[in-house]
Amino acid sequence: MIAIVFCIALGATAIGAPAGASQDDTNATASGPPVPPAPAPVRQPDGSVADLDAKLVVCDPDAPPVSGAGVTSIFEPESPPSREIRELGFLVFAICIGIFVVVQGFLVLAIVRGIRSRRAAREEGASAEPTQVYGSVPIEVAWTVIPTIIVFVLTMVTIRTIRDIDITSPPEDALEVIAIGHQWWWEFRYPDEAGEVVTANEMHVPAGRPIWLRLESADVIHSFWVPRLAGKMDLIPGHTNYTWFEADRAGIYLGQCAEYCGTQHAHMLIRVYADEPEAFDDWLAAQRKPAIEDPTVAEGRRVFAEYACLNCHTVDGTSDGMFGPNLTHLASRDTIGSGFIPLNRENLRAWIDDPAQLKIGCNMPSLKLDAAELDAVTDYLLTLN
């Protein structure tokens, strides 16, 4: 049981399958069987997954911040909670290996001694049936006391780890960040007396300072998991959970929603940017500024305001949407689609044209804009940095 629990805790794999294409029975011809329609072309993000993987070295401040590929191993912790989880895992693994070796050792010993004694009995012409022993106080005491000690040790160490990780109040000098899970993206809020900062999908935090994370859900159950920073914690509708971490050094830490939440669960990625304290303060100050109003993209701003964009997305001074990511400083981010696609003009234009072509099942509809409108809105959004 301990080994099973440990193996489950070591990692999670998100498996996705492409949606199947349906066939139209009316596509039959007089000379043959029904012919399925040609599949619609699917736009691909800029660069293959292999190319993106090759470019990214997670937690290297100089690495190009591209898609959600990289190291997410629990064996490379960069935060106190993740280190304690790794140490507990190593202890459980070592005990399980010890139990396995001892049990298998006794099993092999019993087999070897049994074979030898039977062979010796046959040579002497005696019965090969081994001597029957009914009960052994030392053995019964051993297999009762030793498991009790093992369970006691694991219980005490687990309680200590939970006590250190699952705290009920913020650590001293902690920065509070509110993380809200949506299908299928993340909203991050930074409450502050100078004004709340709202962003999406990419969380910025200062390295070397505790982060007190308040977890909420806007729809279904999600789970926040950045393996190198902390353990999993669920986001439950109508209920608030808390967790914390403290990045040891500056860099990019990647994670994933770890609770199946619908079609695009596998592409609900998390990107945590641990900045140097001065760089984080600069980022926070820039995020508090109002949206840039560039007169050269007035047409794109008009299209954005006249269509359904403003009902879902907030851009300070232009719209106050409630359902989609805040776009006030969209161009300051490195990705779109919850860390799934690098942010550049080509990918952003394709996303605006038809998000479902890039992220099947996405809740954002296609507004069927013409080419000129697409170009205008894309240029407008790229000025929001």
What is the distance of C-alpha 162 from the center of its chain? 21
Phi and psi at 320, nearest 5°, equal: -135, 60
pLDDT the model gives residue 120: 78
Residue 356, sorted as left (phi over 0), alpha (psi -120 to 50) or beta, turns out to be alpha
pLDDT the model gives residue 107: 94
pLDDT the model gives residue 318: 72
pLDDT in tens, 19-43: 333 333 333 333 444 444 444 444 4
Mean model confidence pLDDT for the chain: 80
pLDDT the model gives residue 315: 86
Mean pLDDT value of segment 47-60: 43
Residues of the chain with pLDDT > 90, as a percent, come to 42
pLDDT in tens, 136-163: 888 889 889 999 999 999 999 999 999 9
CB 205 within 8 A of CB 272: yes
CA distance 134 to 128: 18
pLDDT the model gives residue 127: 67
CA distance 384 to 317: 12
pLDDT in tens, 84-138: 999 999 999 999 999 999 999 999 998 998 888 888 777 777 666 767 777 788 8
| Cis amide bond preceding 186, omega within 30 | no
Give start and end residues of each alpha helix (H) in the chain: 2-10, 49-55, 80-124, 137-165, 277-288, 298-306, 309-312, 345-353, 355-358, 371-381
> What does the DSSP 8-state code read for residue 330?
G
Residues of the chain with pLDDT > 70, as a percent, come to 80
CB 207 within 8 A of CB 248: yes
pTM exceeding the 0.85 threshold for the entire prediction: no
Higher pLDDT, 132 or 348: 348
Mean pLDDT value of segment 57-73: 48
Continuous segment of H or E residues that includes residue 204:
strand 202-206
Least confident of 12-16, 215-219, 363-367: 12-16
pLDDT the model gives residue 91: 93
CB 66 within 8 A of CB 252: no
Q: Are strands 211-217 and 269-275 parallel, antiparallel or unpaired?
A: unpaired
CB 181 within 8 A of CB 216: yes
CA distance 25 to 287: 54
